[in-house]
Amino acid sequence: MSLHQTLEQVVEANLRLQVSQLDYDIAEERAKAEWAIFEPVLLLTLAQESNNRQNTTEQFLSQRVSIFDEHNEIYSGAIEGVLPTGGKVRVGTQIRNLDNNLQTTGRREWESYSGVTVTQPLLRNRGWKSVASQIELAAGDSSIALQDYRGQLALVLSEAEMAYWELAAASLFVELSQASVETAEIVLKENRQRFDAGKTTEMEVVQSEAGLALRKSHLSNANQRRVDANARLAAFLGRKADNVNIIVPADPIELVAQAPSLSRALSNGVNSHPAYLAQVERCNQAGIRLAFAENEKLPQLDLKASYGLNGLANTFKGTLDEGLIDRDFPSWYLGVEFRFPLTNGKRERHQLAAADIRKRQSLLELSAIEIDLVNGIHALVEKVGSLGERSSALNQVVHLHERVLDNEQEFLKAGKSESRKVLEAEEDLSEARLESLSAMLELRRANVDLLVQEGTYLRDRGFELVDVEEPVLQ
């Protein structure tokens, strides 16, 4: 199974990634929900009212009855909404079916009012930034959730990749141990034949048997190491260990080391790393909250205006026609309302101070993350370079030990060497191969860690979620 196929299965099966995905989905839905602030609202009212009271002298002189008795029906409909300027608007109609003891017997009255009312803040809560602050904060939460998901995805996939390479190394270690056992078996067989022919001593045979037993022990350890590595990878794939067959990695563990560019790595770190991008978004959110707190400290000065048309008739339709068509009886209102705390807004002042502190705190955290990124990238770039050189040098050591073993085996066949020297040469070769394999595994890990630290791991492995843009700190 190739590395890409393995990582695809991890994405589908890993429960931690599914949880992070759901967190992002929740944040997305919340961000969409905040736009509902601009959704018009339909308000319908159907009511009855009854009033039976004794009139005062003043009321008696006006109405000419000592008891006022009324039973009215009220019908109203309106659409209310919020404007991008921060204002509130209401457009509606109210119709009242009046029935009281002041009316002429048999004469019904229908009263209507149709109009629009606007309340527009002039200082506090004025403008797009005030009305859309919650929208922008929710969008920021969505962006942070996306970066958290990117970070979790990169973390899980990078760990799964290292489990893949550890399994590849363990499988290769089994092959090397098996080859070592086969070499020891050949040496033992040849020594027994030479002993039977009287060309060597029994001690040579005993040494060969001991060497074979030691290598079988190493093979057993190698098999157990592969089983453990297989179980770790199976966990990432969401499989149960007791039902898992040995996974066979298809990609070679060898990695052609390329000296990474420090400047490019640093640029990637501040443009792509999930933690850095998430903190930039938190800084922007702190700026939004600070701007909102500054606006909240302003006095409340609202412009209020209304305009409507009145109607009065004997029928439902008649009152609407008189109000909306004849338009003979308009009414309007225009004014301002001022509101300001007498103690100069103690709550608002402290909220503004807290928002300012939170802004400075988020910027400090951003600087700390940037320092950690730069230091980590510096160290990993150096580590990848040195491990690449070490891996190349160990490969040369392996080739030299292979030549030594080949020569000793030829000398042994010609009777010019001892089995002990062959086994020693083979042991030196095995140790060199194991050290070279460990160096390749370390190089793989350092390369993966560098990609994760840069924030480019997902893009490099073909699992990037979005086109990452250069962050803008507002």
Mean pLDDT of 320-329: 86
Q: Is the dihedral of CA 251, 255, 258, 264 positive or negative?
A: positive
Higher confidence at residue 327 or residue 39? 39
Whether 423 has a pLDDT exceeding 80, the answer reads no
Q: Which parts of 297-345 fold into alpha helices (H)?
A: 316-320
pLDDT at 183 over 70: yes
- Contact criterion met (CB below 8 Å) for 249 and 168: yes
Helix ranges (DSSP H) in 64-201: 128-131, 133-196
Q: Is the pLDDT of residue 357 over 70?
A: yes
Helices and strands (H, E) in the chain, number of each type: 12, 6
Domains and CATH numbers, the chain: 3-33+134-287+354-461 (1.20.1600.10), 41-82+87-124+300-339 (no CATH)
Length of the chain counted residue by residue: 474
Question: Does 114 score more than 70 pLDDT?
Answer: yes
The CA dihedral of 280, 285, 288, 293, to the nearest 10 degrees, is: -130
Encode pLDDT of 151-170 as tens digits.
999 999 999 999 999 999 99
pTM of the entire predicted model: 0.80
What's the N-to-C CA distance of the chain in angstroms?
Answer: 46
Q: Contact at 8 Å (CB) between 122 and 301?
A: yes
Q: What is the pLDDT of residue 273?
A: 93
pLDDT (tens digit per residue) in 434-472: 888 889 999 999 999 999 999 999 999 999 887 655 566
Query: Distance between CA atoms of 133 and 153, rounded to whole angstroms?
Result: 30
Instruction: Please state the rounded mean pLDDT for residues 176-205.
Output: 79
Edge-to-edge strands of the sheet including 88-98? Answer: 41-54, 67-82, 88-98, 109-121, 300-313, 330-339
Is the CB of residue 448 less than 8 Å from the CB of residue 162?
yes
Q: Give, as one character, the DSSP assignment of residue 326.
A: I
Bridge partners (DSSP) of residue 79 are 42, 91
b/e map 403-423, b = 16+ CB within 10 Å: ebbeebbeebeeeebbbbbbb
What's the pLDDT at 184? 80
Q: What confidence score (pLDDT) does residue 379 get?
A: 93
Cβ neighbors of 415 (< 8 A, separation 6 or more) are 199
The mean pLDDT of 243-265, rounded to a whole number, is: 75
**Res 29: pLDDT:** 94
What's the burial of 280, exposed, middle or buried (CB within 10 Å: 0-12/13-18/19+)? buried
Q: What is the chain's alpha carbon radius of gyration, rounded to the nearest angstrom?
A: 41
Token reading at 51: 């009033």
CA distance 294 to 356: 10
Handedness of CA 159, 160, 164, 166 (dihedral sign): positive
pLDDT reported for residue 257:
59
Please give the Cα distance from 92 to 110 (Å, whole number).
Answer: 17
| Interval 302-322 mean pLDDT | 92
